[in-house]
Every structure is written in C-alpha cells, then in structure tokens.
C-alpha cells in the first residue's frame, strides 16, 4: 500500500483515477489545482505524485519544478499525467525532471499496473 497524491483539475478524471488506485489498495489524496497540490504534497510526503500538466492556477510544469527543487520533495517520483500529444508530453516531462508519463485517457485495465511499476522503480532506487 502506498500513499499517492493526484493533482488533477478535471473532477471526472480525478474520481476515476482515485477509484482505480483505491481499489488497488493505495491511500489516495486528490488536489484540484497546483496550489493545493503543492500544500498537500508537502503535508503528506507521498510515495508518488500523479501530476496533470495543465492546471487552472499554477502551471503543472511549474509545480513539478518546485517539487524537484525542494530538498524535502525532490526524491518523490512525479509522474506527468496528461492528454498532451506524446511528443510534447515526454519532452516537457523530461525537461522538468518527471519520473515518467501516463497518457490520458486512462486505460482502466492498465492504470493501476502502470502506477505500480513506477512505485516499484522508486523502491528499487
């Protein structure tokens, strides 16, 4: 069981991701915008952050940059969770130090497994 913060402004996407990860046995906290996401991540110190790159207040890349620059959070894997075209998504994720990308829309059969693989990679580091 891991603690996961989902930073996602689309409530339908957030609910689905939350449900799938809870069903897989994880503790899930949802933040609907960048500011809440930052606060929640600093408070919860999760095992993984799922990060929508398009947020309504602070841009997702900016949030990732902040998390990766802070000593207390730089070790937390941040997975870009985005509907952007793959080339843009991977380019931005790499530039900002994300630890991986999960492309939307969510594949309900694979989603929990995709997240589990990132968590395993974290544990092996």
Partner 1 sequence: MNANDSTHAGMSSNLGMLCSEYNFQQLSELYNQGRVDYIVPMPMNAKRMSEYITAHDVSLTHSVVAIDKNDHQPNGMCMLGVRGERSWVTRLGVIPERRRRKSGEFLMNEALRLSGESGIRHVQLEVIRGNDPAQTLFEKLGFKVIRDLVVIRRPPTPLQAGQMSSHVRQYANIEDNQEILRLLNTRDDAPTWIEETASLINGGGMRVITLTLDSGEEGWIAFQRTPFQLTHLVFNPQASPQMIRTLLRLLHELYPLQDTKVENLPENHPALPHFYAMGYVNAFERIEMVLTL
CB of 44 to partner 1, least distance (A): 20
Closer Cβ to partner 1, 59 or 117, answer by number: 59
CB of 83 to partner 1, least distance (A): 7
Query: Can you give the binding site for partner 1, defined by CB under 8 A?
Result: 9-10, 33, 54-59, 61-62, 64-66, 68-69, 83-85, 88, 91-92, 95-97
DSSP strand E in 9-77: where? 27-31, 48-51
Closer Cβ to partner 1, 39 or 91, answer by number: 91
For residue 96, which phi and psi values (nearest 5 degrees)? -95, 5
CB of 104 to partner 1, least distance (A): 10
96 Cβ contact list (under 8 Å, min separation 6): 61, 64, 65, 68, 80
The 3-state DSSP class for residue 10 equals coil
């Amino acid at each position: 069981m891991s603690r996961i913060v989902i930073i996602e402004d689309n409530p339908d996407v957030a609910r689905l991701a939350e449900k799938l990860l809870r069903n897989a046995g994880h503790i899930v906290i949802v933040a609907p915008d960048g500011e809440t996401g930052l606060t929640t991540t600093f408070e919860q110190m999760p095992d993984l952050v799922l990060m929508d790159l398009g947020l309504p207040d602070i841009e997702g890349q900016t949030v990732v940059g902040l998390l990766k620059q802070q000593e207390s959070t730089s070790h937390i894997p941040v997975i870009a969770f985005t509907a952007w075209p793959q080339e843009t998504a991977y380019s931005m994720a790499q530039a900002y130090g994300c630890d991986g990308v999960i492309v939307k829309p969510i594949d309900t059969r694979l989603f929990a497994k995709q997240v589990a693989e990132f968590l395993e990679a974290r544990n092996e580091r």
